Amino acid sequence: MITLDILCARFAGLDPHDLQRWIAAGYVKAEARPHELVFHDIDVERVRLILDLRGSMAVNEEALPVVLSLLDQVYALRRRLRELGVALDGQA
């Protein structure tokens, strides 16, 4: 887990105000600790994804929730397919 300051330092293009908006919108989760927010590895990668979407893929703020939702659905389906594959292998 890392703190907000370390997360902002890790990604040069990360604006703390943007991050606060993403947390409020539920795009990124943060764990509230006394006097600071901390982020798990999965949330750090989510920030990296959002920055990539906004930067290299030119996804604007209005489209961001749609793109993130679609990506979440794809990952959930992949996870289900993997679980199904394991279950089917166990039946053979």
Average pLDDT of the residues of the chain: 93
Please give the Cα distance from 16 to 7 (Å, whole number).
9
Cα–Cα distances in Å, from 5 out to 2, 25, 91? 8, 20, 49
Domains of the chain and CATH, by start:
2-91 (1.10.1660.10)
Q: What is the pLDDT of residue 82?
A: 94
Write down the number of H helices and E strands in the chain: 4, 3
pLDDT single digits (tens) 51-78: 999 999 999 999 999 999 999 999 999 9
Tokens of 70: 């679609």
